[in-house]
Amino acid sequence: MFFGDPHGNFEPVIAAVERFRPEAIVLLGDLQAQQPLHVELAPILDRTKVYFIHGNHDTDSDLDYDNLFGSELADRNLHGRIVEIAGYKIAGLGGLFRSKIWDPRRPVEEAAFFSADALRRSMRPEERWRDGIARRHRSTIFPEDYQRLLRSPPADILVTHEAAAAHPHGWQAIDELAETLGVQLVIHGHHHRDINYVAEGLMTAAAPFRAFGVDMGSHLAWPRDETGLGSAPQDLLDLATQVFGAAALAWLDKPHEWLDGQTPTAFAAAGGSDKVRSILNAIQHGGVV
């Protein structure tokens, strides 16, 4: 199960793991854990295997950085490598392309710095952060990271923080990496929107891989048709999670007086999802149902 950028809120992650019991989860960057990641995710660490890639905001502050890269889960970062998880070989590319280091539309030879080590060597000791490169560039994609992945053995899934080329702010370099690795699936975060690229007509079904974006607070299960997501539609679960956080499932499964005493889940399944949605919107924003 793949989760969009938490930005410090892990309630939807914990709620989904408790409900669907996935074998493993991958967080798609911008975690911004407010406590060390293993503390934030303590309720689910014995229920699923946790992996992640970092995003640009995971280097915003010392706290963001330390709660991720200094946590007991720091070795679960998939950036720059391939790990077999739940039977899939999953390749990871965290962070952003930054033109001060390398614009991937230009040849690697034109990159300002090939590697983090090359950047570090160019800096005076007093310019360094913790005797290394600037904190910000610890979420920058260096050509070395990208090329190491490019030369890796084949993989099944590629997770990235940056989007594939079909996104208005996406990158051809992500597609090239996906095609070289031979993956069937690319999943990205960063843009805070659920996107099914084929369903939205942004990619054709004949494309060499399928691509999905995942919104913050949302998730994508894979394989998609074996998830048992029958009980409440994903959009209602997402909306309920926005309104109630970890209590969303409890609300969806509790009889409601405005729904003839039925549970929101049952009422929605019987064709009443618009009414459930309007109740949630009223709770969230105030107003008339």
Alpha helices in the chain (DSSP H): 11-20, 37-40, 62-69, 116-122, 143-150, 172-181, 234-244, 248-252, 264-267, 273-285
Q: Which of 56/71 has CB closer to Fe ion?
A: 56
Q: Sheet holding 88-93: strands in order across?
A: 82-85, 88-93, 157-160, 185-188, 210-213, 195-196
Pairwise CA distance, residues 286 & 61, whole Å? 35
**Binding marks (x or -) toward Fe ion, 49..68, rule CB under 5 A?**
------xx------------
Q: Which of 162/238 has CB closer to Fe ion?
A: 162
Closest separation in Å from C-beta 96 to Fe ion: 7
Q: Which of 89/190 has CB closer to Fe ion?
A: 190
CB of 132 closer than 8 Å to CB of 120 = yes
Closest separation in Å from C-beta 57 to Fe ion: 6
Q: Which of 10/88 has CB closer to Fe ion?
A: 10
Closest separation in Å from C-beta 204 to Fe ion: 27
Q: Which of 55/213 has CB closer to Fe ion?
A: 55
The count of residues interacting with Fe ion (CB under 5 A) is: 4
**Binding marks (x or -) toward Fe ion, 75..114, rule CB under 5 A?**
----------------------------------------
Closest separation in Å from C-beta 211 to Fe ion: 17
What sign has the CA pseudo-torsion 246, 252, 254, 258? positive
First to last CA, the chain: 33
Closest separation in Å from C-beta 256 to Fe ion: 36
The H or E element spanning position 3 is strand 2-3
CB of 179 closer than 8 Å to CB of 154 = no
Closest separation in Å from C-beta 162 to Fe ion: 9
CB of 159 closer than 8 Å to CB of 53 = yes
Subset of residues 184 to 223 that bind Fe ion, contact rule: CB under 5 A:
190
Stretch of 47-55, 69-77, 123-131, 196-204 contacting Fe ion, by CB under 5 A: 47-55
Subset of residues 27 to 46 that bind Fe ion, contact rule: CB under 5 A:
30
Two tokens, residue 156: 């099944």
Q: Which of 55/143 has CB closer to Fe ion?
A: 55
Closest separation in Å from C-beta 29 to Fe ion: 6
Q: Which of 190/210 has CB closer to Fe ion?
A: 190
Residue nearest to Fe ion (CB): 190
Closest separation in Å from C-beta 5 to Fe ion: 6
Residue 167 makes contact with Fe ion by CB under 5 A: no
Two tokens, residue 91: 């390749």
Q: Please, how many CA atoms are within 13 Å of residue 117, restricted to the half-sphere of its CB? A: 2
Using only the alpha carbons of the chain, give its radius of gyration: 20
For residue 126, give every residue at least 6 positions away whose Cβ sits within 8 Å of its Cβ, in sequence order, or none: none
Task: Note the residues at the interface with Fe ion (CB under 5 A).
Answer: 30, 55-56, 190
